[in-house]
Amino acid sequence: MRILLHRADGITDPWVADFAACLPQAQIIVWQEGVPIAPCDYAVLWSPPVALLPELQHVKAIFLTGAGADGILKYSEALPPVPVIRLGDAGMAIQMAEYVSHAVLRYYRRLDEYDQQARRGIWKQLPQHDKADFTVGVLGTGVLGKRVLDALASFGFPLRGWSRTAKQIEGVECFAGSAQLDDFLRGTRVLVCLLPLTPETTNLLDRSRLSLLPQGAYLINVARGALVAEPDLVTLIRAGHIAGATLDVFRNEPLPAPHPFWDEPKITITPHISALTLRRESIEQISAKLLAFERGEPIADVVDRQRGY
């Protein structure tokens, strides 16, 4: 069995070694631009360069080393009609819960404001926010959104979630579909974005939708940058309608300089690290799914190309 491997960071040796341990029967071929290779049975990659696409014409399935499939589905017609299988959690959900809980608590406990005070030598207790007025709304209640909601529930925040199909999640007020989005946003003080990037979700959070959030709301985007209309976010932050944003993902990554986000003190920037791909967990999951696929068994996390996730 021949597996084509592509890593955008160029760090491939540990992946080859861990695959050898998990799937000793497989030969791992690291893709390098311009180096011809014999046809492979499977591909393991995430957001490959266009030059790799001809190699995919022979594979039986494509395994992603990430949760989001937008980086491969963007090639649409150029992809062979084989299953694309994304990661399901593989250690990312707990990282997402850590990151989002930290950001929500930082806003709720006013830790940014205390930090600014401390830098100016000010010892002053600020009024505590009312937790009943600090509803956290999570866009996307899939694998990651659900785990984030579970983590936030332990702090007692009022919770709501929005998904494409109707859901029932204990302790969470659930909304579904575009008809219920406006109501969801109107009652959300901290908006957490955990949607996949699809044609329906691109630019979903534009000026009109972000304006539905109550005055003083916060945004935490850990999904994809293109879900948010970036200039609209800057406008609403400067107008004081949005009190702060924590952004881990951007329309163009790395976030270019200059960019208004870099200069906006109410925006916290991290370089797409909220949930990193964990190599060993991912290889174990991909290997198990690949073997199940070889045996003709059903496998989880097959991307639905019509839905786009």
Catalytic residue among 6, 86, 106, 224: 224
Contacts of 70 (CB under 8 A, 6+ apart): 196, 197, 198, 224, 308
User: Is 272 an active-site residue?
Assistant: yes
Q: Nearer Cβ to ligand GLV, position 67 or 204?
A: 67
Q: Nearer Cβ to ligand NAP, position 28 or 210?
A: 210
CB of 161 to ligand NAP, least distance (A): 8
Binding span for ligand GLV by CB under 6 A among 12-20, 65-73, 176-184, 296-304: 65-73
User: Is 189 an active-site residue?
Assistant: no
**Pairing status of strand 61-64 against strand 27-30:** unpaired
CB of 273 to ligand NAP, least distance (A): 6
CB of 69 to ligand GLV, least distance (A): 8
CB of 67 to ligand GLV, least distance (A): 4
Contact footprint for ligand NAP (CB under 6 A) = 67-68, 92, 140-145, 162-165, 194-198, 200-201, 222-224, 248-249, 272, 274-275, 309
Choose among ligand NAP, ligand GLV, none what residue 274 binds, the Cβ cut-off being 5 to 8 Å by kind.
ligand NAP
Catalytic residue among 2, 110, 259, 272: 272
Binding to ligand GLV in span 77-96, by CB under 6 A: none
Q: For ligand GLV, which residue of 6, 40, 45, 66 counts as binding (CB under 6 A)?
A: 66
Binding span for ligand GLV by CB under 6 A among 62-70, 148-156, 158-166, 175-183: 62-70
Size of the site for ligand GLV (CB under 6 A): 4
Q: Nearer Cβ to ligand GLV, position 73 or 236?
A: 73
Q: Nearer Cβ to ligand NAP, position 26 or 309?
A: 309
As a three-state string, the secondary structure of the chain is CEEEECCCCCCCHHHHHHHHHHCCCCEEEECCCCCCCCCCCEEEECCCCHHHHHHHHHCCEEEECCCCCHHHHCCHHHCCCCCEECCCCCCHHHHHHHHHHHHHHHHHCCHHHHHHHHHCCCCCCCCCCCHHHCCEEEECCCHHHHHHHHHHHCCCCCEEEEECCCCCECCEEEEECHHHHHHHHHCCCEEEECCCCCCCCCCCECHHHHCCCCCCEEEEECCCHHHECHHHHHHHHHCCCEEEEEECCCCCCCCCCCCHHHHCCCEEECCCCCCCCCHHHHHHHHHHHHHHHHCCCCCCCECCCCCCC
Choose among ligand NAP, ligand GLV, none what residue 164 binds, the Cβ cut-off being 5 to 8 Å by kind.
ligand NAP
Choose among ligand NAP, ligand GLV, none what residue 143 binds, the Cβ cut-off being 5 to 8 Å by kind.
ligand NAP
User: By CB under 6 A, is residue 67 in contact with ligand GLV?
Assistant: yes
Positions marked catalytic: 224, 272
Residues that bind ligand GLV (CB under 6 A): 66-68, 277
